[in-house]
Structure 1
Amino acid sequence: MLALGLIYDEGSRSDAARLGNVALQIIRDWVMRFNERGPEGLINGKTPGRQSRLNGNPPAN
């Protein structure tokens, strides 16, 4: 949140990345998630992507 606060106080994303000890891409992702969903968007959840090939059912013998 401090890194995002720095950006919203007109700081650079590079400075925010250094403050958060993360890469610029992560700062970009955080900003996009925050803008779309607010603070709730920063809570880790299931990542989007392809569905798992494993369905939890044991193989048939």
Structure 2
Amino acid sequence: MTETKRDANASLASEPIGRLLLKFSVPCVLSMLVSALYNIVDQIFIGQSVGYLGN
């Protein structure tokens, strides 16, 4: 297990910045898009069923 942690730390120290930004930002952006889409769809369904008071 300690070897895995060392390998992860070594990759953070040795990989290019651009690759690391893509590696860590893509999952974050995707999760934010899914969350925003969920909120939009939720508001649409609440607006259709409850009406103005639901928003």
TM-score strictly above 0.5: no
* Greater helix content: 2
Q: TM-score, normalised by structure 1?
A: 0.33
* More relative contact order, 1 or 2 (CA 8 Å, 6+ apart): 1
TM-score (structure 2 length as normaliser): 0.35
